[in-house]
Amino acid sequence: MQAGTESSPEKVQDALARLHGLTSNSSVSLGDIVEVFGETSFAPILLILSLIIVSPLSGIPFLPTLFGSVIALISLQMLIGRKHLWLPQFLMRRTLKGRSLAKAVARLDGFARWIDGH
């Protein structure tokens, strides 16, 4: 499937599985993450950012503030009726190591299973 035609994941674990597919890369940009979810990226991106904020990863200085700002930007786009997610290029170019993403996905897996079960 092309990125723009994929449907939204139905479970939290499905969203994490899509992210896990990126972890083999040496670095992963926010643009790569948005592209994985395609045009239906609002809900999965908001969900993943929210999971990170409520996880132990929120102890990283400034991470909750950064992610909260991104959540506000995404939510505003939904409110004004955009069809797909847009983020400024300086955010889309932000990268993290694939290894770091793999660790984050692994940490969120148990929480995702719990959410899917409820």
pLDDT digits (tens, 9 = 90+) for 89-99: 998 898 988 88
Place of tokens 């990226």: 41
CA-CA-CA-CA torsion sign (3, 4, 6, 7): positive
Q: Indicate if the pLDDT at residue 9 is higher than 80.
A: no
Q: Indicate if the pLDDT at residue 2 is higher than 60.
A: no
84 or 61: whose pLDDT is higher? Answer: 61
Measure the CA–CA gap between 50 and 67, rounded to whole angstroms: 8
Q: Give the pTM.
A: 0.66
Q: Indicate if the pLDDT at residue 5 is higher than 50.
A: no
